[in-house]
Amino acid sequence: MYIRSVKLRSFRNYAECELELGPHTNVFYGGNAQGKTNLLEAMYLCSRAKSYRTSSAGDLVLHGEDYGEVELRFFAAGRDQVFRMAVDKKGKKKIFLNDVPVGKVSRLLETCKVILFSPDDLLMVKKGPDLRRKFIDNSISQLKPSYLSDLVSYCRLAEQKNKLLKLIKEGRYDEATLSAWNYKLAEYAAKITAVRRQFVDEINQVNERIHFSISRQKMSVLYRPNIRESMQIEEYSRQKQVIFDYLQAHAQQEMKLGLSLYGIHRDDFELQINDTDLRQFGSQGQQRSAVLSLKLAQCELIEQKTGERALILLDDIMSELDQDRRAFLLSSFGEQQVVITCTDREVYPSNGDVHYYHVAGGTCREILETD
């Protein structure tokens, strides 16, 4: 997909903004705190109607205004389409794709393939399992939107189970009901485990090659399910049984703590370079190359499996990379639309035209050769 135009009204620090983008490389430059990331955030919205920076949508509305709007005209699946989102300061959203209200995020995920790369992605290597899980879950959802609805159902059930465990701990609920929840959780968990395992195999195939070209080292992603016993099981009903039995066997422990301790919400994905854990032993540069490689692999899988080229959003990434890695990154994108933010106007190699935009104090203007 690629975005043709962006229109903002009362969005973040933009009162009004209208832009046309080029189909290849688009560079947004300007000083700190001028509104570059805010623009990328607006472009990202079409992929899931949710910001990657805040969980309260009301933050998106220009301070002092009641509601804000984003309109993105884009080309995807062989035709022109339009995404619109209005949000009020309480965070209530109205979302439309081609003038039809969007009920499920999976409709957006199916249509808009967007890959964001920001310095915060490095935390995926350094921190605990949450961000690695999020990366894997996001990547799978773009390839298989039904995965997201299974995951949402699982998380909802797990939350309800937590409430139930608290009530049981306080002696306010009958513990016999717990097994019904565990049974339902095991159904979703078995499905999710199978998809995660398959995805890890697929991304490894692509990622190993890409990572080797970047750094001449071997990189692997290893799936580390929280319920280890479920790792090698292929068959769905057997998997469901193993997970259910595990949850039941640990029910007393969970009830004592009033907290759900086991399940796919605690899975991890270990990143290894030359067979050692990157988190513990990786240098900064190795960590950076690993994340870069994973993002490129994500990009390649999307194209392989959906036939659609993802839109690439690079927020402040270039300054973090050395010359070789920058060049590698840009040459990897081929025909895709890439949107780059940076503080200084720099020359970027591209397979097509490069468009430059200057961002200052909540305004954005394309800088033409003649300016």
Which residues bind to ligand ATP, rule: CB under 6 A? 12-13, 30, 32-38, 59, 61-63, 316, 343, 359
**Distance, CA of 152 to CA of 177 (rounded, Å):** 22
Nearest approach in angstroms of CB 326 to ligand ATP is 18
Nearest approach in angstroms of CB 55 to Mg ion is 19
By C-beta, is 187 or 315 nearer to ligand ATP? 315
Nearest approach in angstroms of CB 39 to ligand ATP is 7
Give yes or no for a contact between 131 and 226, defined as CB atoms under 8 angstroms apart: no
**Distance, CA of 294 to CA of 309 (rounded, Å):** 16
**Three-class SS state of 236:** helix
Nearest approach in angstroms of CB 320 to Mg ion is 12
Q: Give the CA count within 13 Å in the CB-facing half-sphere of 95.
A: 17
**Distance, CA of 6 to CA of 71 (rounded, Å):** 6
DSSP state of 265: G
> What, of ligand ATP, Mg ion, none, does residue 63 touch, CB below 5 to 8 Å by kind?
ligand ATP
By C-beta, is 37 or 81 nearer to Mg ion? 37
Helix 178-215 vs helix 145-169: crossing angle, to nearest 10: 130
> What, of ligand ATP, Mg ion, none, does residue 366 touch, CB below 5 to 8 Å by kind?
none
Which residues of this protein are in contact with Mg ion, per CB under 5 A? 36-37
**Distance, CA of 13 to CA of 34 (rounded, Å):** 8
> What, of Mg ion, ligand ATP, none, does residue 187 touch, CB below 5 to 8 Å by kind?
none
Nearest approach in angstroms of CB 13 to ligand ATP is 4
By C-beta, is 40 or 143 nearer to Mg ion? 40
By C-beta, is 270 or 320 nearer to ligand ATP? 320
By C-beta, is 251 or 314 nearer to Mg ion? 314
For β-strands 338-342 and 25-29, DSSP reports them as parallel
